């Protein structure tokens, strides 16, 4: 146990981070995973160290919105291309919650990326939850392996190509690969979605998409996503504090709506899987209705800006009862 603890702590301490809080978060996750009961593995996965880094067959997805077009997303794309990353990039362009997007700003952004080879926009006229945008962009990429990047990343030119290749290789062999234990840069095989379902589109805001998928991956495969993490240089998370100001904030900087939904979806304090949650949990209702989310979006999108959690919870309970998928 002590040897395992030392290895995991060393791995976390060598993780290159943007801010110290993320290091503390990683350390706490490692300690949590060590302390809980070990789940039996129901699949045989190859050792990460034995997976080849020569894996160029992947595409890239980056999601952004108006306030981060020119401060984050465009510089990231240019840095990737300047570093020799030539794979196709799909840019998910979200709308702004509660308002029409600025057509001039969007046009200028589209003109900028149109001159960069193999960059494809996937545009949305109104605000959509991150789960939906990830799903649509991954589908648009139409590749077995997709690497999904936050738009607030800084590229380390000398390392990024080999790191992305390694991520793609791990994802092809193990389904998912996290870089430095973080979901701000991850690779995923679309075969995973056939087994556990897509990102839950009932998460209509921003936040908990990765927590939910992490739980479902471990619940199905008996292996933590964090065991599929590689610790390499190449991408630094700059952790932008710029978010859509109309979304009601809940847990930290993320959507209150999403956290209230997650508290309904999971029964915390029971079970053996903690995944990214701060305590063990069990799933309360099925994912059969998670995709697509059109009906949910029509009925519940007004609650993205609702600041009263009891109001959101009441609306969600009514919706879940109507769908008949809550136990």
Provide the pLDDT for residue 23. 47
Provide the pLDDT for residue 300. 94
Residue ranges in the chain assigned as alpha helix (H): 2-13, 20-35, 74-82, 103-114, 130-141, 160-174, 190-196, 209-221, 256-265, 294-300, 309-323
Provide the pLDDT for residue 324. 52
In terms of Cα–Cα distance, which of 127, 120, 158, 162 is closest to 141? 120
Low-confidence ranges of the chain (pLDDT < 70): 1-56, 97-100, 242-245, 289-291, 322-327
Q: What is the dihedral of CA 196, 202, 205, 208, to 10 degrees?
A: -40
33-85 pLDDT tens trace: 344 333 333 345 556 655 655 556 899 999 999 989 999 999 999 999 999 99
The backbone region for 282, taken as left when phi is positive above 0, alpha when psi lies in -120 to 50, beta otherwise, is beta
- Domains of the chain with CATH codes: 9-237 (3.90.550.10), 256-323 (no CATH)
Provide the pLDDT for residue 294. 84
Residues linked to residue 267 through DSSP beta bridges, in sequence order: 282
Provide the pLDDT for residue 252. 75
For 152, the 3-state DSSP assignment is coil
Token pair in block for residue 86: 């030539």
Residue 273 phi/psi, 5-degree rounding, is: -100, 125
* CA–CA–CA angle 124, 256, 302 (5° rounding): 50
Q: Confirm if 38 and 63 have CB atoms less than 8 A apart.
A: no
Provide the pLDDT for residue 31. 53
CA distances to 16, 97, 136 from 233, rounded to whole Å, are: 7, 35, 29
């Amino acid at each position: 146990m002590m040897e395992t603890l030392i290895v995991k702590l060393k791995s976390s301490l060598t993780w290159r981070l943007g801010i110290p809080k993320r290091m503390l978060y990683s350390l706490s996750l490692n300690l949590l995973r060590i302390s809980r009961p070990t789940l039996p593995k129901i699949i045989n996965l190859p050792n990460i160290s034995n997976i080849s880094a020569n894996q160029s067959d992947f595409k890239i997805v980056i999601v952004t919105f108006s306030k981060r077009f020119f401060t984050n997303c465009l510089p990231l794309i240019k840095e990737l291309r300047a570093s020799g990353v030539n794979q196709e990039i799909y840019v998910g362009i979200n709308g702004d919650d509660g308002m029409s997007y600025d057509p001039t700003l969007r046009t200028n952004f589209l003109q900028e990326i149109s001159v960069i080879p193999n960059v494809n926009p996937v545009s949305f006229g109104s605000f959509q939850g991150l789960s939906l945008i990830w799903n649509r962009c991954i589908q648009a990429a139409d590749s077995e392996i997709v690497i999904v990047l936050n738009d607030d990343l800084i590229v380390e030119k000398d390392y990024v190509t080999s790191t992305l290749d390694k991520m793609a290789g791990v994802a092809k062999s193990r389904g998912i690969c996290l870089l430095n234990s973080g979901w701000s840069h991850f690779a995923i095989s679309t075969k995973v979605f056939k087994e556990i379902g897509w990102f839950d589109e009932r998460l209509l805001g921003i936040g908990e998409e990765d927590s939910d998928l992490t739980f479902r991956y471990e619940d199905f495969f008996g292996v933590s996503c964090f065991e599929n993490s590689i610790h390499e240089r190449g991408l630094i998370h700059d952790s932008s504090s710029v978010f859509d100001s109309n979304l009601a904030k809940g847990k930290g900087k993320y959507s209150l709506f999403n956290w209230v939904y997650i508290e309904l979806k999971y029964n915390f304090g029971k079970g053996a899987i903690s995944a990214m949650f701060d305590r063990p949990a069990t799933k309360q209702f099925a994912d059969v209705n998670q995709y697509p989310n059109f009906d949910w979006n029509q009925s519940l999108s007004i609650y993205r800006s609702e600041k009263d959690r009891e109001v959101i919870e009441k609306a969600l309970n009514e919706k879940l009862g109507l769908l008949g998928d809550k136990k």
